[in-house]
Structure 1
Amino acid sequence: MKLFGSSGTRGVVGESLTPEFVLRVAKAAGTVWNADRVAIARDTRTTGEMFVNAASAGLASVGVDVDDLGVTPTPAAVRYCEAADVPGVIITASHNPPEFNGVKLVDDGVELSVEQLERVEDHILAEDFDVAAWDEVGSVRKVETANQDYLDELLASVDAEKIADANLTVALDPGHGAGSLVTPDFLRELGCEVRTVNAQPDGHFPGRNSEPVPENLTDLERLVRASDADVGIAHDGDADRAVFVDEHGEAISGESSLAALVAANLEPGDAAVSAVNVSQRLVDVCDAAGADLELTPIGSTNLITRIRQLWTEGVNVPVAGEGNGGVFFPNYRLVRDGAYIAAKFLELVAERPASEVVAPYQDYYNVRINVEYTREAELDAMLSAAAAYAEAADATPNTTDGYRLDYGDAWVLVRPSGTEPKVRVYAEGRSEARAQTLAEDAADALYAALDEL
């Protein structure tokens, strides 16, 4: 796909992402869906309203009515689409910086599959859109209930009594994103004492960068320690991720929390689905449970596609996800849902401290290096260098998505980002030094290719 990456399409506003482009995406989606109504939602980014207006105009121009949900977490928008039986356009760049925005497309209550996205993309590239007559264009109506309906369903879908009985104190950092409108109320309804930071909706993200990685969670770590909280929870911009801080104020890696959640929900004969940058932690969990581990290219779109394929084969997939805080519980809903992920982790913390929940999965160290590019020639040079590096390595490359090299005690993966102009290098090892060395060696090969241009 040329336009859609591993989780929709994203770009810097005014450069690679413009209102004209979003209008064309909406016209193409409306043409492909052939629906009477489509829902539109957005996160808190300052450019969100502009792109909602562009998408609304595009849909109306092909004869589609629009339900404008306003600022809504992605999982709340997906829930609305499923309940109302309508497709959806979600204006969000998820965890990217504030100058970015993007578009996710939803149908049948899930993000579009790769095949469906390719159909939309074909219509965009061919400028092949339905055109409604002047008296058949769509109209727009505001819908004010999406967040409350989502909250109500969340409360009915988790073990609220177990969480309430634990009398937990929770520190929460929604990162100024759409989760600010739901997760604080949700946790209080669960009986938690809630302390917040960066909880006012603000598309400039003044308190921290949107991506909930450890280096961005210092405020939350301090809040956990200051409030003697049992756990800290952080979201990204559209609240489809949840990452955690333990009771000591130490950030928990997403790979460790994913392993704990999978271990708590997997039965023999089940399958878990993750991406090719999967941690050895998850491999060990699946082996111990007698369950299969299915690997896909990185990105929610690819995981969703594989989960649906497994369903057609009669395979139960109770949990799936990546080590970035984005976890699916497909039997609940096939969407990454930050508030639901948080509640499922709280069910574990209700039994024992957060540090003990993840203690069995802390044996590996992870390193990630991003190498940026500005021209296609730079990307091509780095990918050629990655291929040569993998070919010369003392390991057999896995080329499901990029180049992964497994060494038994450690692994390294080189792949282009699906959402940003970067080539990412991931490494994991039993020691931090081993992971750092692998990551730096692979990144050096990429930097050398850039120097030769």
Structure 2
Amino acid sequence: MKIFGSSGTRGVAGEELTPEFVLRVAKAAATVWDADRVALARDTRTTGAMFADAAATGIASAGVDVDRLGVVPTPAAVRYCEAAAVPGVLVTASHNPPEYNGVKLVGADGVELPVDRLERVEETLLAETFADAAWDEVGDTTHVHDANADYVEEMLASVDREAIAAAGLTVALDPGHGAGALTSPGFFRELGCEVVTVNAQPDGHFPGRDPEPVEGNLDDLGRLVRAADADVGIAHDGDADRAIFFDERGDYVEGDASLAALAARGLSAGDTTVAAVNVSQRLVDVCEEAGATLELTPIGSTNIITRIRELWAAGESVPVAGEGNGGVFFPDHRLVRDGAFTGAKFLELLAERGRPVSDVVSPYGGYYNVRLNVEYGDQAELDALLEAAESYAAAADARPTTIDGHRLDYGDAWVLVRPSGTEPKVRIYAEARDRNRAERLAENVREALDAAR
């Protein structure tokens, strides 16, 4: 697909992503869906209202009514689509920097569109075979005001509220000025937790930190955990479909470690879990111990969702899945990454164990992760970088995996190099039990790519 990457289509607002383009994407989707109504939602980005207006125009011009949800987390929008049995257009760039925005498409079953459906939308867009409504058949607009409240109520009914409340937990929460600022503080308070917050004002300029919940952006949350003597810290990205944790000492918890802890609790013998090709050895170890099967996909929620649906069709049980970036699926609840729900499931785990976060995740420590980015300017430069990555992989004394880019397994460590699906970057991931080993593996790849310029 040229337009839709691993998680929709994204770009810098006003450059790669324009109102005209968003209008055409929404109009193409409305044409393909053959639906009477389409839900439309956005996150807090400063360009969100503009792009949502453009999307609404495209949908209405195809003769389809628009349910405008306003600013909601992605999982809240997905819940609405499933409950109302309508497809959806989500204007969000998730974890990308503030200047980015994007479009994600969701089916009437409340699941992101699979690759084949996205390709149909893309074909319609490129061929400009849009549905064009007559002047008296254009779509109407309805403003929906309860999507966030309904989302929170459903989550409260889907977790062990009594056990969490009985644990008497203090939660330090950082919604990162994103859509989760409208839902997560109230949700965790309704669970019986004492909640203290930072960056909890919805603001598309993201003044407190960038939207991506990586360690370098979360110093304020670590300080808040220590100042408030909180039991756990929870951070979201811009559309609140991720949850990253801090322990009771205010120390960052690797997303791969929290995913492994949640998977160990949720997986049984005969189950299957799905993760991306940058999967940590932590999850591999959990699956081996539980007697569960691990399936790998290219990076991105679209690919994981597609594989989960295929496994369901084959009668497989997939109770938990996800990536080490904080994007976790609990498919039996809903097939969407959900930061607040993931946070609640982690609180269930703390309540069940009666132990601090540091103890709960300690079995999944001992690995060091490094992530580097190599930026490029144009397609020719990207091609040169990818050619260098292929040559490096061919010469390496390691077991290769080419599901998405080049993953090289050395037995005691691994490194992965692949182009980002949302930004002009080639990403390098490495993991090892020795920090210097992980850093050297990543640096060796970066040096090979830099030499190709």
Range into which the TM-score falls when normalised by the shorter chain: over 0.9
Match of 1:227 in 2: 228
Match of 1:28 in 2: 28
Q: Distance in 2 between matches of 1:421 and 1:140?
A: 36
Q: Which amino acid aligns with 1:103?
A: V
> What are the equivalent positions in structure 2 for 1:1-12 lying under 5 Å apart?
1-12=1-12
CA RMSD, 1 decimal = 0.5
Q: Distance in 2 between matches of 1:116 and 1:371?
A: 31
Match of 2:419 in 1: 416
**2:180 is the counterpart of 1:179:** yes
Q: Distance in 1 between matches of 2:341 and 2:142?
A: 28
Helix, strand or coil: the match of 2:401?
coil
- 1:374 Cα offset (Å): 1.1
Cα deviations by residue, 1:26-72 (Å, 9 ceiling, x for unpaired): 01000000000000000000000001100000000000000000000
Q: Distance in 2 between matches of 1:225 and 1:114?
A: 44
- 1:263 Cα offset (Å): 0.4
Match of 1:354 in 2: 357
The count of residues paired between Structure 1 and Structure 2 equals: 450
Cα deviations by residue, 1:219-248 (Å, 9 ceiling, x for unpaired): 000000000000000000000000000000
Q: Distance in 2 between matches of 1:90 and 1:362?
A: 36
Q: Distance in 1 between matches of 2:296 and 2:282?
A: 14
Q: Distance in 1 between matches of 2:232 and 2:309?
A: 33
Match of 2:167 in 1: 166
Q: Distance in 2 between matches of 1:438 and 1:275?
A: 20
**2:329 is the counterpart of 1:328:** yes
Q: Which amino acid aligns with 2:406?
A: Y
Q: Distance in 2 between matches of 1:64 and 1:109?
A: 18
TM-score normalised by length of structure 1: 0.99
Match of 2:311 in 1: 310
Residues 299 and 404 of structure 2 are in contact (CA less than 8 Å); yes or no, is this contact kept in structure 1?
yes
Match of 1:403 in 2: 406
Residues 91 and 101 of structure 2 are in contact (CA less than 8 Å); yes or no, is this contact kept in structure 1?
yes
Residues 91 and 104 of structure 2 are in contact (CA less than 8 Å); yes or no, is this contact kept in structure 1?
yes
Match of 2:218 in 1: 217
Match of 1:14 in 2: 14
Cα deviations by residue, 1:51-96 (Å, 9 ceiling, x for unpaired): 1100000000000000000000000000000000000000000001
**2:392 is the counterpart of 1:389:** yes
List alignment gaps of at least 5 residues for structure 1.
Answer: none
List alignment gaps of at least 5 residues for structure 2.
Answer: none
Q: Distance in 2 between matches of 1:397 and 1:15?
A: 37
- 1:166 Cα offset (Å): 0.3
- 1:397 Cα offset (Å): 1.4
Match of 1:242 in 2: 243
Helix, strand or coil: the match of 1:172?
strand
Q: Distance in 2 between matches of 1:111 and 1:335?
A: 8
Match of 2:133 in 1: 132
Stretches of 4+ moved more than 2 A in 1?
A: none
Match of 1:379 in 2: 382
Cα deviations by residue, 1:122-167 (Å, 9 ceiling, x for unpaired): 1111111011111000011100000000000010000100100000
Q: Distance in 1 between matches of 2:434 and 2:115?
A: 37
Identity of aligned residues (%): 73
Match of 2:71 in 1: 71
- 1:400 Cα offset (Å): 0.3
Cα deviations by residue, 1:252-301 (Å, 9 ceiling, x for unpaired): 00000000000000010000000000000000000000000000000000
Q: Which amino acid aligns with 1:352?
A: R
**2:84 is the counterpart of 1:81:** no
Q: Distance in 2 between matches of 1:444 and 1:320?
A: 33
Q: Distance in 2 between matches of 1:310 and 1:252?
A: 30
Q: Distance in 2 between matches of 1:355 and 1:110?
A: 34
Q: Distance in 2 between matches of 1:67 and 1:84?
A: 10
Match of 2:338 in 1: 337
**2:448 is the counterpart of 1:440:** no
Match of 1:57 in 2: 57
Residues 43 and 178 of structure 2 are in contact (CA less than 8 Å); yes or no, is this contact kept in structure 1?
yes
Q: Distance in 2 between matches of 1:97 and 1:383?
A: 24
Q: Which amino acid aligns with 2:261?
A: A
Helix, strand or coil: the match of 1:236?
coil
Helix, strand or coil: the match of 2:452?
helix
Helix, strand or coil: the match of 1:157?
coil
Helix, strand or coil: the match of 2:450?
helix
Q: Distance in 2 between matches of 1:396 and 1:254?
A: 25
Q: Distance in 1 between matches of 2:246 and 2:401?
A: 33
Q: Distance in 2 between matches of 1:292 and 1:345?
A: 22
Q: Distance in 1 between matches of 2:76 and 2:360?
A: 28
Helix, strand or coil: the match of 1:267?
coil
Q: Which amino acid aligns with 1:121?
A: E
Q: Distance in 2 between matches of 1:411 and 1:63?
A: 51
**2:435 is the counterpart of 1:429:** no
- 1:396 Cα offset (Å): 2.7
Cα deviations by residue, 1:181-220 (Å, 9 ceiling, x for unpaired): 0000000000000000000000000000110001111000
Q: Distance in 2 between matches of 1:259 and 1:67?
A: 38
Q: Distance in 2 between matches of 1:356 and 1:67?
A: 45
Match of 2:48 in 1: 48
Q: Distance in 1 between matches of 2:317 and 2:271?
A: 5
